[in-house]
Structures are given as C-alpha cells and as structure tokens.
A and B are shown apart, each in its own frame.
Chain A
Amino acid sequence: MNSSSPTGQAMSHADDAGHPAPQSFLTRYVWSQDHKVIAVQYACTAIAVGVVGVVLSNLMRLQLGFPGQFDFINAERYYQFVTMHGMIMVIYLLTALFLGGFGNYLIPLMVGARDMVFPYLNMLSFWVYLLSVVVLMASFFVPGGPTGAGWTLYPPQSILPGTPGHAGGIVLMLVSLLIFIVATTMGGLNYVTTVLQARCEGMTLLRMPLTVWGIFVATILALLGFPALFVSGVMLLLDRTLGTSFFMPALVSMGQVTGYKGGSPLLFQHLFWFFGHPEVYIVALPAFGIVSDLISVHARKCIFGYRMMVWAIVAIGALSVVVWAHHMFVSGMNPYFGFFFATTTLIIAVPTAIKVYNWILTLWRGDIHLTVPMLFALAFLCTFLIGGLTGLFLGNVSVDIPLSGTYFVVAHFHMVMGVAPLLVVFGGIYHWFPKVTGRMLDDRLGRLHFWITFLGTYAVFFPMHYLGVLGMPRRYYNFDGYKFIPPSAFSLNEVITVIAMIIALAQLLFIVNLAWSAWRGRPADANPWRAASLEWQTPTTPPGYGNWGPRLPVVYRWAYAYGEPGAAEDFIAQNAPPQAGAGEPEPEGQSEVRGAPA
C-alpha cells in the first residue's frame, strides 16, 4: 500500500496559495495551527511542568536524606510530593514531550509533509493539554492539597480519609488525567494519520527514520492504552463522588463501616496497568527511535539492521499489551497468572536486546563524533542497559517477590523510564535545536550539563538498588526504629540527596542554554550535523510555514545513507537525485516491495 501517488500529493497541500501563512502574532504564535509552533508550545509547557516535578523530587529527597530536619515536610506533604512528582514526570512531561513535542515537530518534516493532516485538531490538542496541566496545578491550591495516593492512585486508599488530598486533590487529579487523555487522543489520531497518509513521494514506510517508527508505534499504544486509564478514571471518580462501588468492596474506613460493597480493587489495578505498562513503551519507543538516529548520524554510519530495528519496535509494542500484570505479582491476583506474565515479560527482553546490539553494531567501524547529542545517546545506552537488565530481576516472578515494593523498584524504573528517556530528550533537543531555531546550543554548557546529569543520575540510582535488596520499602516517610536497616543506609540516603540536588541545579544550565542560545546562539547551518534524513533538507532554516516551499520533496532512498562507498561526501540526503547513488538494503528476494519511483 503506497499513499504517495502523485495524485494524492496534488490533493494535499501542493501549493501554499490555498493556505496563506498566518500574519498576525496571535495566529502565528498563540492560536497557531503550524505543527512546528505547536511542538514548541508542547515542549515549553512540558519542560515548565517538568521543573515543578524536579523541585518536588528534591523536596522528597530532603526528607529521605535528612528526616525531620525540615518542619514543613510532614507525612502528608511528603506523599503529595511523591505522587505529584511521579504523575508529572511520567504523563505531563515525558508523554507530552515525546508525542506532543518531538512527534509534532519531527513527523511532518521527516515524512515530507507540509503539516499534520488535521492542523486545527492539532492546535486543539495543545490547548486541551494546557488545560489539563492547569487543572493539575490547581490541585496544589485546593483545601487538603493534591492527592498523596501515589501515582498509581490505587483504590480504596486513594479516595478514603487517611490519604492526603482525598477530598479535592484526587478529584482534580482524575479530571486532569481525563482531560489529558482527550488531548493525547486528538494528537495521536493526527500523528498516526499523518504517518499513514501524508508521506511524500518515495517515502515508503520502510524508508522512514526510526524516530518516526518509534513515535508512530508509541502513538498507537497510546491510542490503545489510554482508554483503559480513561474508563478507570471515570469509574474511580464516580466511586469518589457518587458513591458507586466499581473498585470498592465492603470496607471500614477509620473505624466507620462505609456504604461501599461489591467492588474490586484488583480490577482497577488491571485497568491501570493495562494502560501503565504500554505507557512505559509510549515513553521508551520514541526514545529508542531518536537514539537510533542520533547514533547513526554522529557515528556517520548507516543504522545496523534497519528492518530488524523496525520489527523490534513493532514486536515490543505488540508484546507490551500482554505483560501488564508483572506489576501485580504480589497484588493478590490469581497466582497462576504469574507464570504467564513472567514468561511474556522475559520474551520482550529479546527484541529489546536486539535493539541494544544493533545500536552497538552501528558504532562498530564507525567514524564516531563525540558531539553533545552523541554523548547523551551513549549515556542512554549505558543507563538503559542497567535499567533493562534490572527489569529481568523484577519480571521474573520469584525474584520479584522479595524485591517488589522496595527501593530496587524505584531504582529500576528511574533508570529505565526516567533517566534513560530524559537523556534522549536532552540529546534530541541538542540535536534538533539548530533546525528549530536556526541557532546552535552552546557546546561548553551542553557538555557540563551532560557530565553532571549522566554521572549524577548514575550515582543516585545505582546504589539505590542495594537498599531495595536489603528490603527497604518505597513510599516511606521515614524509617524510624526499623532495626533491620543499618545506619549506613541512612548515610547513603544523605549522599543521594546531595547528588540529587546538584543534578537538579545542573538542569538550570540547560534552561539557561536554551534561553540564551535561542536569542544569541551561534547561527546554525541548514544541516550542521550533515544528516541524511529529510528534516535537514528544508529550503529554509528554521523551516517556513508549509515546510517545503513551492514543491514537496521527492525521496529516493532511506534515511541512513552514510559512508556509502564511492560517494563524494560521507552522507547522501534522502531527497538527493537518484544518480547520487545508494539505496537501502533490499529484502532477500522481494525487491518488488519497494514503492519508490524508478
């Protein structure tokens, strides 16, 4: 199936006359329908809310490192910090930034489209996302404060007295999530449709950069997974406000028999993790895609095993919807589920390992430039490696039983879906900033930011695994009087807190760099990294409205034409004329699959 026929192209935005570029400031930068502006709006909002998330993590670390030293951090506030930190980082920062930020900016440019196929819906997606952030932040200011139920929001606890924010906070949290899901769905439908329908001539699915593949499959997962969160959010909201009993069995709260009966707390957990596990890959797959492109460009070598990489992304995406209950090995569900979910979970390690091998084999006999984006990509490799390997502990049910709910879990998921994707976010921003703004980010600030962030996060989370093996439970306000925890563990917590605060401060370097370079940075070439993929081949930098000037590009090869034997330069752009040579490796004996014009 090839949608890039010349007629299809003519029907899409073949000339700019039908869509004059908006002139007023409001329509250009505020109510903009341009995917590039919307991407920047998404990214700036996500980074701003991410700053709140980082501050919350530091407040939490203050209590863990120096318990009782800070009067304003009482138990209630601690749990509120924990909950809001988790929710902000996973949903409002990472999901929004990868799909709304990177997805929005890169998909049309990388597949050679003028914009998303539904620009108005795209604009709406951002504003609805912003509304969800506003509602989320409002929960800090309602009586009782935001919810402190933990980011998993497990009932019955999340809606009963005894949990901070059980009055207003939890309601706003659920409402905010529902709004966020509306935004993600609007954005997601757009990204999927754009990838399937708006690719330029010659851009077959198997010529798309892996970044697009990662975001594409992640978006499909979001469209499948978020509805499960949506319905569980609605049901929990009804349990909380109208007294229904979807998740609430007959129970006693604070000495009083409640009116609830017949509901199932485990049902919520199943629904939550049916969303929650794909969510890990909603964050990870775009990171996988982006890091593949960073490594290939900066090692000046075609990505190793491109088709295997695509199939690995698709296989991981498919498997990710049948592994959810590995989060529930000790939840009290039917114990025989454990066999199935442990097996599927460990199977998913195979395609994931293939990706790691192929990144490494891309470096083999490469021409490695240690630019700032490349440093972040390599740091991702190291961090993701340890995070993925510790996943093999937690996915294997009998190893998980003693480790579940301890700091081992905290260390694992921060490595694998906190730090690793964020390193890719940074790498991606250092890589594409010149295209977005036409200016380079400062290299020295970038390197300083890189070293503190990479080594710091490793020093924070690596030792934390050992506290978990010892049996220290997570989500504890303090550990007063537990004798099985030696005093040395508390010294370690002090050290971790100090490092965490240094890392948080180092993020200021990044923000200063962004702000300063956007106005005063060194002007960038159109293609400063000499990359082959289409987004670097726009007629102007930054790309203008409609991206491609009067004529859409035509693509003649894949996005990884680096180090081609006999070529004049060490890369050949995707849209360079066919006589420039170089094609993607043909599949064994089925070259007729190619949809490219001769």
Chain B
Amino acid sequence: MIMAVALLLIVLGSVLFHVFNPWWTTPLASNWQPMDDTLTITLVITGIFFVVINLFVAYMLVRFRHREGHRAAHEPENRKLERWLIGGTTVGIMALLAPGLVVYANYVREPRDALVLEVLGQQWQWRFRFPGPDGKLGATDARFVSATNPFGIDPGDPAGQDDLLIPGDEVHLPLGKPVLVLMRSNDVLHDFFVPPFRARMNMVPGQVSRFWFTSTVAGRYEALCAQLCGVGHPNMRGYVVVEDPASYQAWYAALPSFAKSQAKAPEAPAAPGGPAGGGARVEQGRALADAKGCVACHTVDGSPRVGPTWKGLHGKTETMADGSTALVDEAYLRSFIRDPQARHVKGFPPVMPKIEMTDEELAALVAYIQSLGSPPAQAAAEQKAAR
C-alpha cells in the first residue's frame, strides 16, 4: 500500500517538477528548431508511457495485494495480447525514430553557400581561423605548430597565406548566414559546444570534423568544451558574437592574415629593451603570452584557472606543494618559466610545460607579469577571495 502511494507521489511529483522547475533548454539561437521539436515529441511520448505504466503498477499493488486465502490467477501467456503490445510498441518507436532521422539528414547535408569557420581546440583554449579571400584554408600539420604558428599552418602552402587568424577567444559571425564549422585539435579530444546553437561535434587530433548551423538571434554566446580534455577542461571558454552583417564586416576587415602574422614574428626579438623600452617590452610580453598560449591557463583578471592568475602575482608569497614558501620576484619567475617542473605551487596541478624561448622573450614575458603585480597583502586577499 505504501509502495502504491510512493509510486503515485513519484508520478505526481515528477510531472509537477517538470511543469514548475526553472531549468529547460537555453533559448534557441540557431536554425535547429527541429532538434527542439524532436526533443518535445520524445518527451511527450515517453512521458505518457512513464505515467501510464507507473499508475497501472500502483493500481495493481492495491487491487492484487495479498489477502488471506486468495490465490493468484494462472495465466502463463496470452499470445494475442503479446502481439498487440509488440505491434503498438513498434509503431511508437517508429514515431520517435522517423522525425529524428529526418532532422539528422538535414544535419548531415551541409549548405553549399556556408561561411567557413575553423575552430581549433588545444589545451585549454579555442582558436579561430577564416579561409580569407581565396576561400581555402591552408594545409596544416602538427609538426608546424610553434609559439608563433599555433595553428600549425604549412608556411609553404599558398592557400594558407591569406588565412585570417582571430586573436583571442572571441569570434564574430554574421546574423542569418549559414556557417560550416570545421574543427581540428592539436592535442587531445575537445568538443565545441554553444548550448543555444544545439549543433556541435567533437574535435579529434589528426582529422577534421564538421557541423553547420545558421544563427537566428544576435547576441554574445558562451562556447565551452564538452569532451573531457584534462584538468583545465572547465576553463576552456570562448565566445561567439552574432551580429548584423555591417558590424561583422567591420570586425572582419581588421583581422590579420597568416602571412602578416609570420612577417611580424621575426621582428619580436628585434625590440630589445633600451632605456625607453619598458612599455614596449611589456607590450611584447603581452603578445608573447598570447602567442605561446600562456593565457590558456593564466588569467590577468584575478581569477585562477589551471595556473595562478598573473594579477598581483609579482610580489606575492606563494606556498609550494611541499609546504615551503617563496617570494615571487623576477628571479622566481625566470627560474619557474625556465624549469616549470622543478617545484610546484600548492593547489595547482603540476602540468606547466617547458616552453622554449629566447632570453629576450623571457625578459619581456617577466616584465609583463611584473607589470601586473600589486602590493602583496592586496594580492593575497584577492587570490583568497577568488578561490
């Protein structure tokens, strides 16, 4: 009897929870309304099934509960009933599957006039590339990957020279234009997921995977990684800005090409820190931090990610994993970057890679980190508050 009441309460509670809970899909911002529709169809059919079966069981628990002197009926099988049930279930399953496959057929069929966007995943940040005026993405290979060529674009491929590289973790897209997203990874599996677009796919090193969508609502959407990619997995965030074509064109026009970024690279060490070079050197350090991927793990806004934030780092006292403490000064920063595995900061995973850089570059990077420093007490308080 209590079990029957429990089942009734579960059915009632589940239905009420479904109606009144505040969590459902994020507002749709792409053409994939049909995905939401198949979700609704599935929910209705399975929901009815769930309610009916549970109520039926609850009824039987009361109706056929044990009573003294009463015996169960003898009914080993009922062919007719069984055939009806199999038939009805098959029809129900087909009603679920058919619309799902139709939607999927559209998902697989890519529009021909789509804007091509490449998304590159790497631990733990996103990078974006457009094919540029020739409409072709340059060939890539892992062996070309370096701090100055994070995409691994083949420098000898003419198709790659005009590719447009997007600095930072935010890409803009024109409203209402179909976008074909081509996805690569330099290291491990990732998954480029923007919940309001619904469409998504894993990125797999060694191959290009793809999906397409058309944006329908302007806005700035969060992109996140939905395939476990190591300790920094939750920090892999990016943004997709959907805007009117005019604003998009203005943004697009300012993007640097691959050829330009390569031309600029050799200049970098050529800016030695003269007496007036302080500001330039910090600026060079900022650019290096982006190019070498430091910003994937270290923020400059005070929030810790995979590694400590650089805001207020210089001048602070860090506790090491072995319990010792160390003052973060120029010598500390230099030695830590040169040999990140020599010691580990408490509370952070020991995963910092050794990144090759010249003395000039190291000096610039350290200068940049120093420029973000703040008085020790304040830094410590901020770090604590952020955690």
Is the CB–CB distance between A252 and B186 below 8 Å?
yes
- Chain A residues within an 8 Å CB radius of B228: 79, 149-150, 154, 157, 475
Is the CB–CB distance between B93 and A265 below 8 Å?
no
* A323 lies within 8 A of chain B by Cβ: no
- Give the distance in Å from the alpha carbon of A471 to the alpha carbon of B221 in the complex: 13
* B147 lies within 8 A of chain A by Cβ: yes
- Chain B residues within an 8 Å CB radius of A381: 57
* B77 lies within 8 A of chain A by Cβ: yes
- Chain B residues 1-17 with CB under 8 Å of chain A are 1, 3, 6-7, 10, 14, 17
| Known interface pairs A368-B60, A475-B233, A486-B22; A336-B108 also in contact (CB < 8 Å) | yes
- Give the distance in Å from the alpha carbon of A454 to the alpha carbon of B347 in the complex: 38
Q: How many A-B residue pairs lie within 8 Å, measured between CB atoms?
A: 345
Taking Cβ atoms with an 8 Å cutoff, the residues of B that contact A are 1, 3, 6-7, 10, 14, 17, 21-26, 32, 34-35, 38-39, 42-43, 46, 49-50, 53-54, 56-57, 60-61, 64-67, 70-78, 81-82, 85-86, 89-90, 93, 96-97, 100-101, 103-105, 107-108, 122-123, 141-143, 145, 147, 152, 183, 185-189, 191, 193, 195-196, 198-207, 209, 222, 224-234, 237, 292-293, 303, 306, 347-349, 351-355, 387
Residue of A nearest to B85 (CB): A357
Hey, what's the 0/1 contact readout for A301-315 against B, CB within 8 Å counting as 1? 111111110000000
Is the CB–CB distance between A256 and B23 below 8 Å?
no
Residue of A nearest to B191 (CB): A405
- Give the distance in Å from the alpha carbon of A78 to the alpha carbon of B45 in the complex: 37
The listed residue with most A CB atoms (<10 A of its CB), out of B54, B90, B145, B226, is B226
* A529 lies within 8 A of chain B by Cβ: no
- Give the distance in Å from the alpha carbon of A164 to the alpha carbon of B228 in the complex: 12
- Give the distance in Å from the alpha carbon of A475 to the alpha carbon of B141 in the complex: 30
What distance in Å separates the Cβ of A544 from its nearest Cβ neighbour in chain B?
Answer: 33
Is the CB–CB distance between B72 and A300 below 8 Å?
yes
Is the CB–CB distance between A350 and B89 below 8 Å?
yes
- Give the distance in Å from the alpha carbon of A305 to the alpha carbon of B81 in the complex: 10
A–B pairs, 13, beta carbons within 8 Å: A68-B387, A156-B187, A253-B353, A254-B123, A302-B76, A304-B75, A304-B77, A350-B93, A378-B61, A393-B42, A396-B100, A477-B234, A484-B196
- Give the distance in Å from the alpha carbon of A342 to the alpha carbon of B7 in the complex: 31
- Chain A residues within an 8 Å CB radius of B96: 346, 392, 396
- Give the distance in Å from the alpha carbon of A488 to the alpha carbon of B65 in the complex: 42
Q: When the two chains form the complex, which single residue of B64, B201, B226 contacts A365, counting CB atoms closer than 8 Å?
A: B64
What distance in Å separates the Cβ of A235 from its nearest Cβ neighbour in chain B?
Answer: 16
Q: When the two chains form the complex, which single residue of A156, A252, A458 contacts B145, counting CB atoms closer than 8 Å?
A: A252
Hey, what's the 0/1 contact readout for A342-355 against B, CB within 8 Å counting as 1? 11001101100110
Q: When the two chains form the complex, which single residue of B22, B46, B64 contacts A488, counting CB atoms closer than 8 Å?
A: B22
Is the CB–CB distance between B193 and A473 below 8 Å?
yes
Hey, what's the 0/1 contact readout for A105-131 against B, CB within 8 Å counting as 1? 000000000000000000000000000
| Known interface pairs A157-B230, A256-B353, A484-B26; A378-B57 also in contact (CB < 8 Å) | yes
* A356 lies within 8 A of chain B by Cβ: yes
* A25 lies within 8 A of chain B by Cβ: no
- Chain B residues within an 8 Å CB radius of A404: 200, 226
Is the CB–CB distance between A304 and B76 below 8 Å?
yes
What distance in Å separates the Cβ of A313 from its nearest Cβ neighbour in chain B?
Answer: 15
- Give the distance in Å from the alpha carbon of A163 to the alpha carbon of B351 in the complex: 8
- Give the distance in Å from the alpha carbon of A49 to the alpha carbon of B65 in the complex: 38
* A162 lies within 8 A of chain B by Cβ: yes
Is the CB–CB distance between A389 and B34 below 8 Å?
no
Is the CB–CB distance between B71 and A367 below 8 Å?
yes
- Chain A residues 499-521 with CB under 8 Å of chain B are none
The listed residue with most A CB atoms (<10 A of its CB), out of B24, B200, B202, is B202
Residue of A nearest to B198 (CB): A402
What distance in Å separates the Cβ of A205 from its nearest Cβ neighbour in chain B?
Answer: 17
What distance in Å separates the Cβ of B350 from its nearest Cβ neighbour in chain A?
Answer: 9
Q: What bracket does the count of chain A residues touching chain B fall in?
A: 35 or more
Is the CB–CB distance between B53 and A360 below 8 Å?
yes
- Chain A residues 353-395 with CB under 8 Å of chain B are 353-354, 356-357, 360-361, 363-370, 375, 378, 381-382, 385-386, 389-390, 392-393
Interface residue stretch chosen among A9-17, A215-223, A430-438, A460-468: A460-468
- Give the distance in Å from the alpha carbon of A466 to the alpha carbon of B25 in the complex: 8
Interface residue stretch chosen among A27-35, A54-62, A563-571: A563-571
Hey, what's the 0/1 contact readout for A478-489 against B, CB within 8 Å counting as 1? 111111101011
Is the CB–CB distance between B35 and A398 below 8 Å?
yes
Is the CB–CB distance between B42 and A368 below 8 Å?
no
- Give the distance in Å from the alpha carbon of A541 to the alpha carbon of B232 in the complex: 57
Is the CB–CB distance between B49 and A346 below 8 Å?
no
What distance in Å separates the Cβ of B165 from its nearest Cβ neighbour in chain A?
Answer: 17
Is the CB–CB distance between B25 and A349 below 8 Å?
no
- Give the distance in Å from the alpha carbon of A575 to the alpha carbon of B150 in the complex: 75
* A48 lies within 8 A of chain B by Cβ: no
- Chain A residues within an 8 Å CB radius of B187: 156, 160, 162, 251-254
Is the CB–CB distance between A365 and B72 below 8 Å?
yes
Is the CB–CB distance between B206 and A251 below 8 Å?
yes
Is the CB–CB distance between A402 and B200 below 8 Å?
yes
- Chain A residues 255-299 with CB under 8 Å of chain B are 255-257, 261, 263-266, 299
Is the CB–CB distance between B104 and A405 below 8 Å?
no
- Give the distance in Å from the alpha carbon of A330 to the alpha carbon of B107 in the complex: 12
Is the CB–CB distance between B6 and A455 below 8 Å?
yes
Is the CB–CB distance between B64 and A332 below 8 Å?
no
- Give the distance in Å from the alpha carbon of A385 to the alpha carbon of B369 in the complex: 56
Is the CB–CB distance between B142 and A250 below 8 Å?
yes
Is the CB–CB distance between B26 and A466 below 8 Å?
no
